[in-house]
Structure formats: structure tokens, C-alpha cells
């Protein structure tokens, strides 16, 4: 009887609690005795999952390889049109440890001039080059890209004349599927916009502010003429009118 009371006190204070402790201990003992078998089963399951992961990763790599070659060629073609004659764009795949997005490290390569080696885009491209590269990419992927708004800054760097019109036409094409915001100092690019806003600095009460004005048709012509360098010139105004008309015509590449 004394042993019975001792067991009750040690394992919960009641017969029911003592029996529950006994069953729990039996389960733990069985688990410990079969631990080796459990580890082996888990190892076998992990091996099956690793094999499936490898299979899926290889399949994804094949698809990426085919798509990367096609994408590189397509973007290179767009860059020729956007002021980078002789340039090249590539998508390089390097194997790595499997992660949620696959078994490949993806690196964009860029060679801006003929005879230059392909180097990582993130290391060599200027802001203007990146903007035009982004435009080329968006032009190629326009039908598949779900990004609703695209912003291009300084996309006209080192451009002028007909090349500016080419960039403007490309922007207008992308704008048929996305909202495009373009900050530009080049009238040939600006002429292709559907809505124009002029950004100016103004001084009020000794402080400088940024003022943004939406331009209607007359103001749009005057602003383009100003960008051309002669807002008071009839020739500049006529040139601005012609530039807008030129931009509204669909001209093949």
C-alpha cells in the first residue's frame, strides 16, 4: 500500500495520472528503440525529394537556357535601334545550390561597344544606359510584363536627332501596354508623349520650389520650341509643330 501511495504522489497524485505517465513513458521508450529505423526512413524520403528537386531544377535550367539565348538576341536587336550599334546583351546562367527560385544564378551581361568583352551589367552601365536597356527589355517583354507603371529617367543621355525619335517611338510602343513616365531634356523624345508636363524651379519668398505645369497644345508647342533653343522664333515654333506631327506618324524602323 505504501508503494501504491508513493507512485501516486510521484506521478500526478492519482491513479489516472500515474497510468497516463506510464503510457507516455512506454511510447517514448518505443520511439527511442526505433530511432535508427526512423532516421533511415527520413533519409530515404529526403533522398527521393532531392532527386525530384534535381530533376525539376534541370528541367527549369533547360527552359531558362533556351529563353536566355532568345532574350539576349532580342534585346541586342533592340539596343541597335536605341543607339548602341555593335553592342551585345547576354543572360548568363551559373549553377548554384538549389533555392526556391531554382538552381541557377542569373547575371545580365553587357558589352556597349564592338570588341569589348561581356561584363556584368550591374558593374558597368551608367544610368542612361540602364534606362535604355530597361526600355529594350520592356519592349521585348511588353506583352508579358505585368508592371503597370514604368519610369524612365535620362533615357536620352548622349542621344539626339533621329535617334531621339527612335527612342521616343519605342517609348510610345511600350506605352500601349503600360503607363510610361519619362523625364527627358530631348525634344525628339518629348514629342512622342501623349501628356506633357513642364518641371521648373521657382523662387517665392526667398525659397526655391519645384513647379509642375500640365501643358496643353499651344503650351506644348512653345515648350518644344524652347527645348529646341528658340521659343521666340517662328522657325522654332514651326519646327516644334512638325516634330509633333512627325511623332504622331507611325514610321517603320
CA atoms within 13 A on the CB side of 21: 12
Record the cell numbers describing residue 200, joined without a space. 521648373
Burial (CB count within 10 angstroms: exposed 0-12, middle 13-18, buried 19+), residue 12: middle
Q: 110-129: string of b/e by CB count within 10 Å (b at 16+)?
A: bbbeeeeebeebeeebeebb
DSSP 118: P
Beta strands 119-120 and 102-111, pairing class: antiparallel
Average pLDDT, the chain: 85
Mean pLDDT, range 163-172, rounded to an integer: 87
pLDDT level of residue 114 (50, 70, 90 thresholds): confident
For residue 165, CA distances in Å to 159, 171, 196, 235 come to 10, 10, 16, 20
Residue 88 has pLDDT above 70, yes or no: yes
Mean pLDDT, range 136-162, rounded to an integer: 80
CATH class of domain segment(s) 126-253: alpha beta
Mean pLDDT, range 128-153, rounded to an integer: 82
Residues with Cβ within 8 Å of 90's Cβ and at least 6 positions away in sequence, in order, are 68, 72, 108, 109, 110, 118
Q: Give Dmax over CA atoms of the chain in angstroms.
A: 119
Q: 95-104, pLDDT tens digit by residue?
A: 999 888 889 9
Helix axes 161-174, 234-248, angle to 10 degrees: 40
pLDDT level of residue 218 (50, 70, 90 thresholds): very high
Record the cell numbers describing residue 43, joined without a space. 533519409
User: Looking at the chain, how many residues does it have?
Assistant: 253
- Least confident residue range of 141-145, 158-162, 227-231: 158-162
Q: 18-77, pLDDT tens digit by residue?
A: 677 767 877 787 777 777 887 888 889 999 999 999 999 999 999 999 999 999 999 999
Residue for grid cell 534585346: 75
How do the domains of the chain map onto residue ranges? 126-253
Distance CA 30, CA 18 (A): 19
Residue 199 has pLDDT above 60, yes or no: yes
Cα 104 to the center of its chain, rounded Å:
17
Amino acid at each position: 500500500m505504501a508503494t501504491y501511495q508513493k507512485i501516486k504522489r510521484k506521478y500526478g497524485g492519482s491513479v489516472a495520472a500515474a497510468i497516463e505517465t506510464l503510457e507516455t513513458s512506454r511510447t517514448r521508450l518505443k520511439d527511442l528503440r526505433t530511432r535508427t529505423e526512423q532516421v533511415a526512413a527520413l533519409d530515404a524520403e529526403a533522398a527521393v525529394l532531392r532527386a525530384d528537386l534535381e530533376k525539376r531544377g534541370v528541367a527549369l535550367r533547360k527552359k531558362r537556357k533556351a529563353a536566355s539565348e532568345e532574350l539576349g538576341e532580342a534585346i541586342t536587336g533592340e539596343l541597335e535601334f536605341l543607339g548602341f550599334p555593335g553592342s551585345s546583351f547576354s543572360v548568363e546562367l551559373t549553377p548554384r545550390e538549389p533555392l526556391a527560385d531554382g538552381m541557377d544564378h542569373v547575371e545580365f551581361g553587357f558589352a556597349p561597344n564592338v570588341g569589348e568583352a561581356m561584363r556584368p551589367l550591374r558593374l558597368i552601365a551608367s544610368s542612361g544606359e540602364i534606362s535604355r536597356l530597361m526600355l529594350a527589355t520592356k519592349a521585348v517583354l511588353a506583352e508579358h510584363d505585368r508592371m503597370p507603371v514604368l519610369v524612365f529617367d535620362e533615357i536620352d543621355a548622349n542621344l539626339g536627332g533621329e535617334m531621339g525619335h527612335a527612342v521616343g517611338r519605342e517609348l510610345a510602343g511600350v506605352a500601349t501596354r503600360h503607363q510610361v513616365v519619362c523625364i527627358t531634356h530631348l525634344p525628339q523624345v518629348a514629342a512622342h508623349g501623349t501628356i506633357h508636363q513642364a518641371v521648373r524651379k521657382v523662387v517665392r519668398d526667398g525659397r526655391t520650389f519645384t513647379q509642375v505645369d500640365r501643358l496643353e497644345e499651344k503650351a506644348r508647342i512653345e515648350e518644344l520650341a524652347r527645348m529646341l533653343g528658340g521659343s521666340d522664333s517662328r522657325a522654332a515654333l514651326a519646327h516644334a509643330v512638325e516634330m509633333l506631327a512627325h511623332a504622331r506618324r507611325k514610321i517603320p524602323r
